Amino acid sequence: MTSLISEIPTVSSKQGLVESLERLVRAYYQQPSPRDATRRRVGVSSAILGPEEAIGVLRTVLSGWITQGQVTAQFEREFAEYIGVKHAIAVNSGSSANLVALAALIEADRLPVGDEVIVPATTFATVAAPLIQLGLVPVYVDVCADTYNLDPQAVEAAISPKTAAIMPVHTVGHPADLSAVLRIAQRHNLCVIEDCCESHGSSLDGRKVGSFGAINTFSFFVAHNMTTGEGGMIVTDDEPLAILCRSLREFGRVDQRDIAQERFYSDGVLNEYDKRYVFQRPGYNVRMTDVAAAMGIEQLRKLDVFNARRRDNAAFYRAALLRSCADVLEPAIERPGAFHTYYTYAMTIRPGAPFTRRQLVDHLESHGIETRPIFAGCLPDQPGFRQAPHRIVGALPVARWIRDWSLFLGVHPGVSDEDRQHVVQTIESFVKAQPG
Ligand SMILES: Cc1ncc(COP(=O)(O)O)c(C=O)c1O
């Protein structure tokens, strides 16, 4: 580091500064990263950042424009193209993406307030929270034991006269059974909103998730397959919905697209009023900054490479678990036609196993291997959701088994060959030491 600092030249222009900083950043990232050999830690997630992200952020900051602007617009275009949709609207989180997408559907009269939206019981809190916040009713259905995704049969059983939409989540990267969901939706005239917050680049029969539903959402939180630190994206082919989302994400402002040609707005009450301060609806401020978007552009370019490593790590775990622990642990699977991107590696302890999840978790964590449950486990069982408006369909036996017996491990690109070997050996030695 000292040697790098001594290389800082005297810069006399902005261009010179940018070039010098870029050179230093690249040199910094070429150095081997120090690793504490005494403390192995296989985390459940890790942001994989390189000089490209740092340079993108530096360039943005040095440009002087740091809030939502041209860089965000570029990220939106490139993300829409990657998913295969017409419109992408960047926001500050996946939770905000869900909130804004649902608010847009309500304003477009496609989700009547008070109506029901079917969601998987096993999921993250802010799949259902925006529904409750906006006066919709989450209806929790059971999930499939192999993919952790909503079970189409349970969806069918959950339909009521109040059902307005289905919100499949592609849990930890495995695409939900969208062909079944879309069939049910078509038959009952329901809207489909895909929550793709855990499934960047996942696909079904070659088509990317995020391109099936009417409006769909992504998260770029730091743990996810690509990151902007905090961030999210709404994607849709529906232009009126996209226009509504753009307005809702920034205060409810009137459409700003033609502001360069026509700056002023008139409607009989407001006369030649600056469009920047014309508010067409009560909105939010959940914009993405250009600083975050600069990182997103570089992460998107690397996403397929990241996902390839995740899949390789997952295949390694699956082969090992099937070889030596299949009687007690159910490893993650990939159904035919599905392209799983393994946000994490989920597994479930089988009934009759001679150990508890707590014992396995304690063993793994004591060997430097981080674990988590599958998010909320069974969301309606969470303290903040028990009393909130909802409906449950059936006894949710799978979701409740997952709540008590499932866990996930990291398979992110930072998990090295040595790390994954350590994980497998640690699980195998634990299972072997069990009685019976
Ligand atoms: C399925 C799902 N939806 C929504 C979110 C919320 O995303 P964020 O953390 O960016 O708000 C998450 C978070 O991981 C998630 O897993």
For the chain of 436 residues, list the mean pLDDT of each consecutive stretch of 10. 59 83 93 66 93 96 95 98 98 98 98 98 98 98 98 98 98 98 98 98 98 98 97 98 98 95 97 98 98 98 98 98 95 97 98 97 97 98 98 97 98 96 96 88
Q: Which atom of ligand 1 is nearest to the CA of 223?
A: 14
Measure 370 CA to ligand 1 centroid, in angstroms.
20
Cα–Cα distance, 212 to 394 (Å, whole number): 27
Binding-site residues, ligand 1, Cβ < 6 A: 93-95, 98, 123-124, 126-127, 169, 195, 197-198, 219, 221, 232
What pLDDT does residue 17 have?
A: 86
Q: Which atom of ligand 1 is nearest to the CA of 93?
A: 10
So where are the chain's domains? 62-294
Work out the burial of residue 182: count CB atoms within 10 Å of its CB; fewer than 13 is exposed, 13-18 middle, 19 or more buried.
middle
Ligand 1: which of 100, 102, 124, 372 to mutate, judged by most atoms within 8 Å of the beta carbon? Answer: 124
The residues that bridge with 233 in the sheet, in sequence order, are 90, 218
HSE, side-chain direction, 13 A CA sphere, residue 173: 27
What pLDDT does residue 1 have?
A: 54
CA-based nearest residue to 101, from 248, 279, 200:
248
Q: Whose CA is nearest to atom 8 of ligand 1?
A: 94
Report DSSP letters for 384-432, one per residue. HHHSSS-EE-S--HHHHHHHHHEEEE--STT--HHHHHHHHHHHHHHHH
62-294 CATH: 3.40.640.10
- Which residues are known catalytic residues? 224
Measure 154 CA to ligand 1 centroid, in angstroms.
23
